[in-house]
Amino acid sequence: MEYRSLSELRPLRLDTVAAIGGLLIAMGLFPLRLFASQIYLDTVPILLGTACTLYLVALYQQEDAHTLPTLPTGVAMALPGLVLTGLAGLVLLAVIQGTRTHLFFGVASVVGSLLLGQILFTTDRDFKPGLLLFQIVCFALVFRFTALYVTPGYIGIDIWTHTELTRAILTEGSLDAISDDKHYASPFYHLLVAASALLYDVPIRTAVYLSVGLVMPLSILLVYAATNLLVSQRWATLAAGCYALASHVVMWGMHLIPTSLGLVFFLGMLYALIRVMRIEYTFRDFSLLLLLSVAVILTHQVSTFIMLVLLIAAFVAQLVFVVGPLGLTRLDASVFRAKKPVNLVGLVVFNFGLTIFVWSLTPYRQQSFLATVLSFFSQTVEESAGFLNIASDSSGDPAEAGAEAATVVEQFVPYIDALGFLFLLGATFVGCLYVVHRRRAEQSVFTLLLGAAFMLVFVMGMPMFGIHTFIPTRWFAFLYAPMSILGAIGLRTLSGKLSPGLVVSVLLLFVLVYPGAMIFATESNIDNPAFDDQHERLAYDRSELAAAGSIAELTGSPDGSEIRPDQQLHTDHPYQTLFSRTGAYPSTTTATVPDGGVADHEYVVYRSRQSSDAVYFTDDGGEGRIEQISQDRLCRSDQATVYTNGDVTMCTTSPASA
């Protein structure tokens, strides 16, 4: 293996400087793990250093002509059939077993690897982008809809609230039914579901699945279309495949709330934004961009804020190329077609103005949504912000727990959850280094780079300072879009520059690990967690749903204002949200169960999962914790059983004991 001489290294090239700077940053971040225990502090410095090292090796290795190993034509032709057979097997497994089990997730991981393998290891002659996209969409549909099919009711927490809001709109036939709710000014989701229920003449649950549920898997094609404006079909297909497998994207395909629809509109806006930057756009193209951005604003507040962050990134990219402080206006047409940067000032100002106007009219907690959010943010900065003030389940030293020390599995579960994200983040780092080269710098790719960087600040940076006001967990599905595009560009860079042996090792590792890591991550299996003793199940059995309905009939579903404090119902989290959000018993909260002690509540509900699965209770200090308890720790011996169906039991204070 030969490398270029030092005289040819040209260390002042932007990508070279960025790679060396990345190595220095990685070394600077590495000691932070000594001051705080957090998974990203432990892994990102190593990941960043590895990505920069691989890029530098690829950059200065002699580019000898080489041919990568590819799959034989017979194998390439057989793989689509194997994938479709595997998808049929997933449907059968879900139907026969009645839920998505470890076997289901294992088979899905193999199918995902076969999908990515087809993309990366087939010859140009055997590569069929249309067939691959069909397989990707089919995988997304099967993986999500099997969960929806085998789950009675809904998956998730917020969906129950949005169902009630939609039902209120249908009952009154007007948005006035939700005039006191923050979604009054952002009603697209509820109107879409209500219209689907009327159009198809189906229940609300079915309407949710036939509208938002179907659109979510199809929106993956927008990632392909956006990426194909930058690179060839093979790498655009890879971006679509990576995005389809991403854990948080899967979650919003099962937990179908306004965030899901906001994500669809966001992907459409991202495609339209890249399109106007890459082609000689017309008024129609820019109008589509404007229309989609307005749709996001009228759908979901968090999605709106994320969209504004992306628009700011696009505007900053415009300034970089207009002002040209780094000489980035000198493009090489052999890499990207030179094009004058698109002026986005009007679009940014319009969207900020419309957002402020809508948020000022949105009711939220006796104030406007804008005033409430600003109040939350200022309060957070004053009370809890601070460097390395990390609120994390993994914080703290397991060794300090004594007899309660975490098992090996418990210690590794957070890393398994984050493994897929870290693999894609490493590829994204390489893609970012590639696009900062002067010959390859262009407004569209800089928008993706800056957009991903700004989002990572909200996802990983601000939580490091104790700021969680912006709900960082909601950002991941949006962040995965630019990451998938840049990640595909990064893997494309390595495949064309590294030696064949090293390329095969990198790509094969990605193909084998990424799908399974994403599928076994918590967000991909919230209906039946792969690690059910570590993560709560956000779905309910028929007996648990029936119990909520029966308790509602038993108590008469009193209004929250009619319930005295001593009549408040207590059970585990998340089960307590089912009662409060459906109106079965509005005044319901998480039970307080002292360590090794017994709960002291008048009205409690016990379910068998509290003794076997991960559910939350609060301790004496009011902190939530996962704990399995026996029935007698919640339903005391001096309480009377007023309802039971064998799986769920409601207990109240016995008149005799009172």
pLDDT per residue as tens digits for the range 366-406 = 888 888 888 888 877 776 656 556 644 433 333 333 334 45
What's the pLDDT band for 414 if we cut at 50, 70, 90? Answer: confident
Instruction: Express as a percent the part of the chain with pLDDT over 70.
Output: 90
Cβ–Cβ < 8 Å for 629, 593: yes
Task: Tell me how far the alpha carbon of residue 534 is from its chain's centroid.
Answer: 19
More confident site: 332 or 413: 413
Q: Side-chain half-sphere of 312: how many Cα atoms within 13 Å?
A: 11
More confident site: 394 or 25: 25
What pLDDT is stored for residue 518 in this prediction? Answer: 97
Query: In the predicted model, what is the mean pLDDT of the chain?
Result: 88
Structure-token pair, residue 240 = 């679509």
What pLDDT is stored for residue 4 in this prediction? Answer: 52
In the numeric block, the tokens 């595909």 are attached to 488
What pLDDT is stored for residue 150 in this prediction? Answer: 96
The string of pLDDT tens digits covering residues 278-304 is: 988 888 999 999 999 999 999 999 999
Q: At 368, is the secondary structure helix, strand, or coil?
A: strand
Element (H, E) at 321: helix 301-323
More confident site: 403 or 490: 490
Is there a cis peptide before residue 72, judged by omega within 30 degrees of 0? no
What pLDDT is stored for residue 617 in this prediction? Answer: 94
Mean pLDDT along residues 218-246 = 96
What's the pLDDT band for 570 if we cut at 50, 70, 90? Answer: very high
Q: At 626, is the secondary structure helix, strand, or coil?
A: strand
Q: Any residues with CB less than 8 A from the CB of 262 and at least 6 apart, and which? A: 296, 299, 300, 302, 303, 304
Cβ–Cβ < 8 Å for 488, 431: yes
The 3 state secondary structure assigned to 542-605 is HHHHHHHHHHHHHHCCCCHHHCCHHHCEEECECHHHHHHHHCCCCCEEECECCCCCCCCCCEEE
β-pair type (569-571, 367-368): unpaired
pTM for this structure? Answer: 0.92
What's the pLDDT band for 595 if we cut at 50, 70, 90? Answer: confident
What pLDDT is stored for residue 328 in this prediction? Answer: 52
CA distance 436 to 453: 13
The string of pLDDT tens digits covering residues 28-65 is: 888 877 777 778 888 999 999 999 999 998 887 755 54
What's the pLDDT band for 228 if we cut at 50, 70, 90? Answer: very high
Which of 249, 274, 273 minimizes the C-alpha distance to 262?
249
In the numeric block, the tokens 């601000």 are attached to 462
Element (H, E) at 363: strand 363-364
Mean pLDDT along residues 645-652 = 94
Element (H, E) at 301: helix 301-323
Mean pLDDT along residues 473-502 = 93
Structure-token pair, residue 261 = 């629809």
What pLDDT is stored for residue 506 in this prediction? Answer: 92
More confident site: 76 or 408: 76
153: alpha, beta or left, given left = phi > 0 and alpha = psi -120 to 50?
A: left
Q: Side-chain half-sphere of 339: how many Cα atoms within 13 Å?
A: 20
What pLDDT is stored for residue 542 in this prediction? Answer: 95
Element (H, E) at 376: helix 369-383
More confident site: 248 or 495: 248
Cβ–Cβ < 8 Å for 37, 396: yes
Structure-token pair, residue 10 = 């040209």
The string of pLDDT tens digits covering residues 137-153 is: 999 999 999 999 999 99
Q: Any residues with CB less than 8 A from the CB of 51 and at least 6 apart, and which? A: 22, 426, 427, 429, 430, 433, 490
Q: At what angle do helices 575-582 and 158-172 cross, to 10 degrees?
A: 10
Cβ–Cβ < 8 Å for 259, 302: yes
> In 32-176, which residue ranges form alpha helices assigned H by DSSP?
39-60, 73-97, 102-121, 129-150, 158-172
Cβ–Cβ < 8 Å for 572, 606: no
CA distance 426 to 487: 8
What's the pLDDT band for 413 if we cut at 50, 70, 90? Answer: confident
DSSP state of 324: -
What's the pLDDT band for 407 if we cut at 50, 70, 90? Answer: low
What pLDDT is stored for residue 64 in this prediction? Answer: 53
Structure-token pair, residue 138 = 């089919």
CA distance 498 to 495: 6
What are the distances in angstroms from CA 494 to CA 87, 149, 310, 505, 512? 31, 41, 27, 11, 17
What are the distances in angstroms from CA 123 to CA 78, 82, 119, 470, 497? 14, 18, 9, 45, 18
CA distance 81 to 86: 8
Mean pLDDT along residues 540-553 = 95
CA distance 326 to 316: 14
What pLDDT is stored for residue 565 in this prediction? Answer: 85
CA distance 414 to 328: 40
CA distance 239 to 221: 10
The string of pLDDT tens digits covering residues 141-192 is: 999 999 999 999 999 999 999 999 999 999 999 999 998 889 999 999 999 9
The string of pLDDT tens digits covering residues 316-355 is: 999 888 776 554 544 444 444 556 788 999 999 999 999 9
Mean pLDDT along residues 633-637 = 92
Which of 418, 111, 432 minimizes the C-alpha distance to 248?
418
What pLDDT is stored for residue 73 in this prediction? Answer: 92
Cβ–Cβ < 8 Å for 54, 498: yes
